[in-house]
Structure 1
Amino acid sequence: MKFILALLFSFMASCAIAQEQVSFFFDSDKFVLKKTELLKLNEWLIVNKDVKVVGVYGFCDEEGSVGYNDTLAQKRINYVFNIIKGKVKIREDFKTRSFGKLHTLSPIKAENRKVTLYYILPKDFENEEKIIQEKPAAVVEKKKPIIKFPDSYVYENPDGSTATIKLDTVFMRKVSAANVGEKLKLENMNFYVDTFAIIPQSRSVLFELLTIMKSCPDLKIQIQGHICCVQKDFRDLSTQRAKAIYKFLEFNGIEKSRMTFVGFASTKPLYPLPEKNEAEREANRRVEIEIIAN
């Protein structure tokens, strides 16, 4: 059985007001985030500096005793909390309004080694006290089927020949396990400068997303494009880039009803414009997918 230590405000589980969540994943037996997940957390803090965190879950896989897992989960919670405190609003009484709970989670170990933040948007702040008064309900985790993703994809070239491309199975599992409302960056999704033409080196990302959509028939996504450097997206590149990925999926048999696309131009930067360096520009010009149904 897999165990979980849940640190959660008592009002949160039954909250009917709009509630958001985001997860950060750990390596086995670690309570410090690896570089990519730490970057994801810092990027989330930049975009969501006005929200209020209302609850935290700490997850572990089944390795080790119950007591060991509880301790490891608590360390993961404390680690994330120490990063976010002072950077985002957090309920002052969250520790006194929390409870622990053992729980059965996904049979895929990598999906369980995480900390999930639950938060509310500024528009819901006025309902916070009303939410607190609600009687907490049992937390139910939706079990998802185990999907064994292939580590390669064979496709046909225009001349009729075939080619094999390597796939990132870790990323595919992460998308399949993501909750509704989560956003995931398409790493290494790059375009030729000032165009919406995808460079050949990013082809594997397209086939990873295609494989996920084919393997998870209930998955629905929104493809979101972002650009860097300029205040105005005169050529609407952010939309055109998101649309290019949408059209690839459509061409390869994914139903239109399962996906949408949108361009945000530079209205949701991870770093303020003008960016200070190439690393910040690269972070701002990105494509993300938001989980609409899963």
Structure 2
Amino acid sequence: MRLVVLILFFSITAAAQRQVTVFFDFDKSDLTPIAQEQLKSVFSNPTLQITKIYGYCDWKGGSTYNDSLSYARVDAVYKFLKERKVKTDSTFEGIGFGKNFPQSKTQAENRKVTVSFIESKADSRAEEHKESFSSEILKLKVGENIKLENIYFYNNSARIRSGSESTLYELQCVLEENPNIKIEIQGHICCQQNTDVNDISSARAKAIYNFLIRNKIHRNRLQYKGYGSSKPLYAVPEKTEAEADANRRVEIKILEK
């Protein structure tokens, strides 16, 4: 059963953050016509920026399947809005919760995605720089590298932190729109001169690889490798935290175009 889209508006601190919830058909990740029209209506205002997209499922099916389905719903909403040039805030995060949330007794109400957004007054020059990431990738020649900006990991971990999703989704979109591109995802660490304890650089590169695989980028187009601290931008040990941050990075290398 299709539900009329529910819109909830609320304020968080001083910023006027608002939210729209759209519902999905059973076992589907495609946006319904009702959901599409609602999103078009809400985001007809060009000053709005997305801060969060959260996906959910009902309790039917296994946890792994529902996790994937909830992420597919997040992805469907993200792509729909990006195709309409809706911008993402620098704090953007997209998360699929599967069925792990307080469930409504009405199962159809659990098949949903919530989109949080704010009205932005950001510097247009910053937005232009943000939007140039895709074009920078396309300008690369075979064998050239580019750093993935704004990719954050927990300390000594390959777990990706909130705030990284915008770059990841943009990379995904570039690969979807340019099916001949093949890349190597390269992980680098800081602070360790001769070893990579627990092979964190490989694990972080693989985390990006897994994100792309989960979002339907074919594995034949992707490689990943950890380089430890063998290719620092600054000499190890680093003199400042800024140098350590620069060495602690993930890059992509163009293998084919």
Q: TM-score normalised by the shorter chain: which range applies? A: 0.5 to 0.7
* Shift, 1:170, TM fit: 0.5
SS in 2 for 1:224: strand
- Residue number in structure 2 paired with 1:223: 185
* Shift, 1:151, TM fit: 5.2
* Shift, 1:152, TM fit: 4.3
CA deviation digits over 1:221-249, x for unaligned, max 9? 00000000012112000000000000000
Is residue 2:140 matched to residue 1:178? yes
Of 198, 223, 238, which aligns to 1:260? 223
Q: Distance in 1 between matches of 2:166 and 2:138?
A: 17
**Percent identity for Structure 1 against Structure 2:** 42
Q: Distance in 1 between matches of 2:152 and 2:158?
A: 9
Conserved 8 A contact 1:156-1:162: no
* Shift, 1:173, TM fit: 1.1
CA deviation digits over 1:93-149, x for unaligned, max 9? xxxxxxxxxxxxxxxxxxxxxxxxxxxxxxxxxxxxxxxxxxxxxxxxxxxxxxx99
CA deviation digits over 1:14-48, x for unaligned, max 9? xxxxxxxxxxxxxxxxxxxxxxxxxxxxxxxxxxx
- Residue number in structure 2 paired with 1:56: none
Letter in 2 for 1:202: S
Within-5 A mapping of 1:1-294: 150=85, 152=87, 157-158=96-97, 160-163=112-115, 168-231=130-193, 232-294=195-257
* Shift, 1:202, TM fit: 1.0
Q: 1:237 to 1:202 in 2, by over 3 A?
A: same
Q: Which runs of 5+ in 1 are unaligned?
A: 1-147
* Shift, 1:213, TM fit: 0.7
CA deviation digits over 1:33-91, x for unaligned, max 9? xxxxxxxxxxxxxxxxxxxxxxxxxxxxxxxxxxxxxxxxxxxxxxxxxxxxxxxxxxx
Q: Distance in 1 between matches of 2:163 and 2:250?
A: 15
Conserved 8 A contact 1:226-1:284: yes
Conserved 8 A contact 1:218-1:293: yes
Q: 1:156 to 1:192 in 2, by over 3 A?
A: closer
Conserved 8 A contact 1:149-1:169: no
Q: Distance in 2 between matches of 1:211 and 1:150?
A: 13
Q: Distance in 1 between matches of 2:200 and 2:256?
A: 26
Letter in 2 for 1:201: G
TM-score, structure 1 as length reference: 0.46
CA RMSD of the aligned region, Å? 2.5
**Runs of 4+ off more than 6 Å:** 153-156, 164-167
* Shift, 1:178, TM fit: 1.4
Q: Distance in 1 between matches of 2:156 and 2:251?
A: 19
SS in 2 for 1:196: coil
Q: Distance in 1 between matches of 2:95 and 2:164?
A: 17
Q: Distance in 2 between matches of 1:181 and 1:202?
A: 25
Letter in 1 for 2:115: A
* Shift, 1:261, TM fit: 0.2
* Shift, 1:293, TM fit: 1.1
Letter in 1 for 2:228: A
Aligned residues: 147
TM-score, structure 2 as length reference: 0.53
- Residue number in structure 1 paired with 2:68: none
Letter in 2 for 1:286: R
Q: 1:178 to 1:269 in 2, by over 3 A?
A: same
Letter in 2 for 1:284: N
CA deviation digits over 1:136-176, x for unaligned, max 9? xxxxxxxxxxxx99554796732531437999320011102
Q: Which runs of 5+ in 2 are unaligned?
A: 1-82, 99-111, 118-126
